Amino acid sequence: MKKTPFLTVLYTLTISVSCFAQKSFTLKQNLPIGKKYDFNMLSDQIITQQIGDKKILLNQNIGTDYTFSIKNGDNLEKDIEVIYNRIFMKSSAGGNVMQMDSDDQDTTKQNPFSGLKGAFFTMTMTSDGSVKSINGLDQMLNSIADKMTKDTALVNSIKTQLAKQFNSEAMKQTMESSLKIYPEKPVKIGDSWTVDTKMQMTMPIETITKYTLKEVKDGIAYLNINGSLISKGAFETMGNKMETDLTGTNNGDAELDVKTGLILDSHLRIEMSGTMQSMGQKINFDLQGINKIKGKAIN
């Protein structure tokens, strides 16, 4: 039987829609060599701790601005120079406020962040966002300490303190916790994948995050994020040994440039609660937070 023009057009449209729905997208870190990108990472947190009848409310605002300069590499991994443009922290509890900012270069103030402005290291990042290696941290810490003081003994003391936070494993975990979000294989609309990352800047935290590809439009992939947080283990802060038993969630969304894998925008709501033990005391702990990432090409 001869098809009418209307049925032929309808049949063609049906095939086109079906083919698009089944299209696979490769999402990976593929930042081009020679390009530079700015990343802004911001974390706002409200932390409530209760010890017996005493309740402590802590507000924290922590931000880091980086420039990523893509030096060399191939489709599997890239060597990236990571430059600190700014790092800042504001913490307030019980009317007491502590604030540090690398943009504040007043040498009369005690500011551990002042030497970080312009500091840099290099990392090798694979296509799935894993960090294969970190290099140049020792030189970076020397430069930071030298900017802060000319006292040799004090320089070594500053380096020792900084190395607790700025060491290879800590930096690897920091970068992966924000940037390791890509699937191992091409995905279609509606597909999900899971990424497991660990971080221990102060307390140990394991994040198991499920990403779902919601939509691809005008070269941008839109992701839904739904994950769980676990903190169980010992750590030390300000000379106190602590034990955590916390669980939580991280939910939100992200936008990726399909061609380069650049994280254009990410917004996560973090919730975590449970108990801590310190010096025989039980601490009820609750955290509510927002983590944001924005990335953009600058050349």
DSSP 3-state of 174: helix
Q: Is the Cα dihedral 112, 118, 120, 125 positive or negative? A: positive
The CATH classification of domain 28-297, taken from the options 2.30.230.10, 2.120.10.30, 2.40.37.20, 1.10.1040.10: 2.30.230.10
- 214 Cβ partners below 8 Å, 6+ apart? 189, 190, 222, 223, 224, 253
| pLDDT tens sequence for the chain (299 residues) | 444 554 554 555 455 444 445 799 999 999 999 999 999 999 999 999 999 899 999 999 999 999 999 999 998 999 999 999 999 999 998 889 989 899 987 767 777 788 888 999 999 999 999 999 999 998 888 888 777 766 777 777 777 777 777 889 989 999 999 999 999 999 999 999 999 998 876 788 999 999 999 999 999 999 999 999 999 988 877 677 889 999 999 999 999 999 999 999 999 999 999 999 988 889 999 999 999 999 999 98
**HSE-CB for 180 with a 13 A CA cutoff:** 22
In terms of residues, how long is the chain?
Answer: 299
Cα–Cα distance, 186 to 206 (Å, whole number): 26
**HSE-CB for 254 with a 13 A CA cutoff:** 31
